[in-house]
Amino acid sequence: MNAVVFETKRLSLRQMTPSDVPALLAVFGDAETMRYYPAAFDEARMRAWVDWNMRSYEARGYGLWAMILRATGEVIGDCGLASQQVGGIQEVEVGYHVRRDLWGQGLATEAAPGCLDYGFGIVGCHRLVSLINPLNLPSRRVAEKIGMKLQREVEWKNKPTCIYEIKTSATQNPKQPPP
Ligand SMILES: CC(C)(COP(=O)(O)OP(=O)(O)OC[C@H]1O[C@@H](n2cnc3c(N)ncnc32)[C@H](O)[C@@H]1OP(=O)(O)O)[C@@H](O)C(=O)NCCC(=O)NCCS
């Protein structure tokens, strides 16, 4: 089993692996959960998403991590960091997806601050963003609750997109990643 990246009261975040595809498909295969994406994922798209994250762990030391409910050990979503190009600028995005039957329990808000700590403290980012469809009010609310501010609205991947941002002091010394 892959090492834990960080833990919160109810959650554990670890690198995802191909064995997580069925559990993640219960999240990303749901049309309501994916209403702001082009389509719900099928199994092949889910495998490609896991693969994209695994390549990101290798290349960058971060990605979206599997979100595990500690009480049951189930994978119930993901939360983490993703490298994104926005208007020719390389950004690091905080992302989150939670299985629909567990929405509204504060789980995304509980997990996301650990991603900010990782992005600022381990990766050494000075700015993190969230790229959110303006109509996606729950996601906007999570961004606000973790201290992000709406910077501007842009066209991204042919859709109107809110860029939420949070910055850290440029003088912060990044910690060394664990061996
Ligand atoms: C966004 C998402 C991860 C939030 O997960 P969650 O664990 O339910 O989030 P939380 O419970 O921590 O917080 C949700 C907040 O949104 C609010 N909210 C929920 N539905 C809302 C609505 N229709 N309008 C306004 N606010 C809403 C909740 O009240 C809560 O805010 P509050 O604590 O101030 O009341 C979840 O809705 C999800 O998986 N959505 C689909 C995937 C997605 O869009 N991901 C983001 C891509 S940018």
Domain assignment present for residue 174? The answer is: no
Domain assignment present for residue 129? The answer is: yes
| Ligand 1, atom 31, residue with closest C-alpha | 141
**Helix (H), strand (E), coil (C) string for 51-100:** HHHHHHHHHHCCCEEEEEECCCCCEEEEEEEEEEEECCEEEEEEEEEECH
Percent of the chain with pLDDT over 70: 93
Domain assignment present for residue 51? The answer is: yes
The pLDDT score that the predictor gives to residue 122 is 96
Domain assignment present for residue 56? The answer is: yes
Number of domains in the chain: 1
The pLDDT score that the predictor gives to residue 3 is 87
The pLDDT score that the predictor gives to residue 170 is 46
- Please give the residue range of the domain that contains residue 54: 4-167
Domain assignment present for residue 176? The answer is: no
The answer to whether the CB of 24 falls within 8 A of the CB of 49 is yes
Domain assignment present for residue 143? The answer is: yes
Domain assignment present for residue 178? The answer is: no
pTM of the predicted model as reported, rounded to 2 decimal places: 0.94
Task: List, chain by chain if needed, residues with CB within 6 Å of any ligand 1 atom.
Answer: 33, 36, 96-98, 103-109, 132, 136-139, 141-142
The pLDDT score that the predictor gives to residue 171 is 44
Domain assignment present for residue 175? The answer is: no
CATH number (domain holding residue 144) = 3.40.630.30
